[in-house]
Amino acid sequence: MKNNREASQIEATNSVHTRDVQNTLLCTKKVMLLFPPDWFPSEPYLSLPTLAAVLRSAGHIVVQKDVNLEMYDWFFSNNCLQHVLEKVHQQLERLKKKAAMFGLDDEDIALQNALNKCTNARITELSQNAEAAKKIITSQDFFDVKKLERAINTFQEVTFTISLAYAPARICMPPMETTLPYSTFISAELLKAIKDTQVNVYRDVYHHILHPSIKEENPDIIGISIVLKQQLISSLTFCALIKEHFPHIHITIGGNTVTRLRDMLPQKPDLFALFDSAIIFEGETALLKLVETLGTAQKPSTIPNLIYKDASGLHTSPLITAEDITKLPTPDFDGLPLEKYFVPKLILPYVATRGCYWGRCKFCDHGEGYTAGYRAKKITQIIDDIRYLQNKYHTHHFHFPDESYPPALFKKLSHELIKNNIHIAWMTHLRFENSLIDEEIWKTAADSGCKYLHLGFESGSERVLQLMDKSTTTNIISKMLKMSSDAGIWNHVMGFFGFPGETYEDAQQTIQFLEKNKEYVHSIGFGTFDLCKYAPVTMDNDRFGITYYKNPEWDLALNYYYTVNNGLGIEDSEKLLEEFEKNHCEDWDLRIFIREYVFLYVAHYGTNRIRSLHHHSHNVNA
C-alpha cells in the first residue's frame, strides 16, 4: 500500500509539473524588437538589448533586429545597387513623361543628367567599391586614416547615387543628414510620406529586409524603439506595411520621441491606426506586462505607461511606473549581428544611471523621459556587468552613454576597473565639475582605460553659464580640460550659440575661451539653441524674455520657433555659427569626425595627439 501511495503521489506530482510546463509554453510569447533608421551603424543601440534581457528573463522568445544596421549593410551591396539601377530607369521614364507634358525645370534637368551617368558600368564600380569599403572599416585597415577616409567617401558616393533613385529624397552618410521631403512634425505629412512609393526608401527597406524576417519568425508582438524624431518616417512606414501584411501582429512603439509625443498621440486616431499601442517613459516593466497581457482577458488599463485603443477610442493608462535599475538584468546582445557593425572592434554600450544627477540645466529636456528622477546602480553591479559583457562578447571597448556620468561614480568606476584588473577602453559623457579638479583623478581615469569624453561646455561666458544654471565656471572648465588632456584623454567639447539672453559679446567670450584653450580641446560640436517643448526655459519663457509660437498645423512639433526681447535671435545665432565654423581653429576640423571612430583611434594609438586625423596633416601615423 505504501508503495502504491508513493507511486500515486509521484504520478500526481509529474502531472502537475507537466501542466505547469504546458501553461508556461502557452504563455510564452515571441517578441520582435526593431531599431529603425536613421542612426550611425557603429554600435548597437542599448534599448533593444535592455528590453530583450527583461523579456528573456521572464521566459519569452526575443528576436532583436537592428534594421538600421541591416539597411546600411544592404545599401553598400551589389544587391541594393542593382535595385537602385532599376529605380534609376523608372526615374528617367518619369522625367521623360513629365518633359512631354509640362517640360522640365532646371532641377529636373540636373537630376536627369545625374541619372544618365548611373550606367551599368558605374553601378558595378560602385558595388565593388562599397564592398571594399565595408572590409576596410571592419578590419585593421580602419586604422590607416587614408583608407578609412576613402571608405567613408565611397559610402557618401553610394548614398548620393541612392538619393538620385529616390529623388527628391536625400539619403546621406552620416545618416543624421538624411531627409525626405516631408515634415516629421506634421502628422498629415507623415501619413503622406508612408504611402509615397517614389521617395520613401524605407518601403523598399521593409520589403528587402524586414518583411522576410517577420514572415520567417512570425512574432506575436513587434516593438519599435523610436529614439529621435528623424526615425518617425521609417518607423511609421514599417508599422503601416506590417499592418497591411501581418494584421494579426500587435505593434507597439516606444522610446524617447514617443514619450515626448504622449500628449498628442491620443488625439491622432489616423496616426494611431498604424500601430496598436504606445509605451511612454521607461519600457521594461510596461512591455513585459503588455506581452503577458496579450491574448488574456486582462484590461490594458492595468498596464503602466501605456497608450492603447479599444472600441471606445484611445486611452492612456492611469498607472505610471519607473524601473528599479538595480534589479534589471545585464543587457543581452544575443541575436544582433555584432560582426556587421561598421567598426573593426566591437563597441558595447552600457548605462549605469538613469536621469541626470544634476537635472537643472535650463535648456535641457532629457529628463522628460523619466518619472522617477536620477538613479544609479551599485558599483559592484556595474563592475560585474562590464566583466560579464567583456567576457561574453569578447570586446574591450565600451561606451557609457549616461545622460551625464556623476563625478563620484566616475571616480569609483576608474578605481574599481583597475582594482579588478578589467582592461577596457571606454568613453562617456561628463559635466565640468569642481570635484574633478585633481590630477590624480585624471591619471586614475586614464589608467583605467578612459579614452574619450563628451563634455557639456555650452558657453564660455560666465553670465550665460549662470543663466543656464550650469553651476560651473570658466576657471573650472579650463582646469578640467587641461588635466584630462594631459592625462591623454580626448576632449570633445559641445556648445551652442543663442541661449535666450546671450549677447554677441557673450558669444565672443565663448569663441575667445575656446581659442585660448585650443591646446586642450581636441574636437568640438557646436550648434544653435533649440527651444525644446519640455525644457525649463520654455516653461518659464517670460523670465527669459522669450515669445514662442505654436503653429496648429505643426501638431507633432517638439521644438518651437521663438523670438527674444534681448540678445541673439535665431537668425543671429545661425550667422554667428556659420562665421565660427569658417574661422575656428583648423585642428578641430577632423578628417574623421564620427565619435566612435575617433574613440577607436585614441584607444589604438594610445594618445590624444593623433596628427593624422587633421585635415592639414598628411602623416598617416599618430
pLDDT for residue 366: 86
Q: What is the pLDDT of residues 521-563, one digit of tens each?
A: 999 999 999 999 999 999 999 999 999 999 999 999 999 999 9
Q: Distance (Å, rounded) from C-alpha 370 to C-alpha 357? A: 12
Q: Where are the domains of the chain?
A: 27-69+198-316, 76-179, 345-613
**HSE of 419 in the Cβ direction (CA atoms, 13 Å)?**
10
pLDDT for residue 616: 66
Q: Which amino acid is at 622?
A: A
Give the contacts of 441 (CB within 8 A, at least 6 positions apart): 411, 414, 483
- What are the Cα distances from residue 273, in Å, to 66, 106, 254, 260? 24, 40, 15, 19
Strand partners, 452: 427, 490
Q: Distance (Å, rounded) from C-alpha 554 to C-alpha 552? A: 5
Find the helix or strand (DSSP H, E) in which 525 lies. Answer: strand 523-528
User: What are the 10-residue block averages of pLDDT along the chain, 622 residues in total?
Assistant: 40 38 63 97 98 98 98 98 96 94 94 96 97 98 97 98 97 92 97 97 98 98 97 98 98 97 97 98 98 95 97 96 97 98 98 96 90 94 98 98 97 98 98 98 98 98 98 98 98 98 98 97 97 96 96 95 96 98 94 96 97 71 50
Determine the number of helices (DSSP H) and then strands (DSSP E) in the chain.
Answer: 23, 18
Strand-pair category, 450-458 with 490-497:
parallel
Say if residues 432 and 478 touch (Cβ distance below 8 Å): no
C-alpha cell at 536: 525649463
Backbone angles phi, psi at 41, to 5 degrees: -85, 50
Strand-pair category, 531-532 with 546-549:
unpaired
Find the helix or strand (DSSP H, E) in which 251 lies. Answer: strand 250-254
Please, which contacts does 542-549 make with residues 24 or more away whose CB atoms are closer than 8 Å?
544/362, 544/467, 544/500, 544/501, 545/500, 545/501, 546/500
pLDDT for residue 176: 86
Q: Distance (Å, rounded) from C-alpha 298 to C-alpha 294? A: 8
CA 44 to chain centre: 9
Strand-pair category, 221-225 with 61-66:
unpaired
Per DSSP, 554 falls in state: -
- What are the Cα distances from residue 609, in Å, to 54, 96, 100? 42, 54, 59
Reduced to 3 states (helix: H, G, I; strand: E, B; else coil), residue 126 is: helix
- At the topology level, CATH places domain 345-613 in pyruvate-formate lyase- activating enzyme (3.80.30)
- What are the Cα distances from residue 497, in Å, to 362, 465, 506, 593? 14, 12, 9, 21
Q: Distance (Å, rounded) from C-alpha 400 to C-alpha 411? A: 14
Say if residues 326 and 435 touch (Cβ distance below 8 Å): no
CATH number of 27-69+198-316: 3.40.50.2300
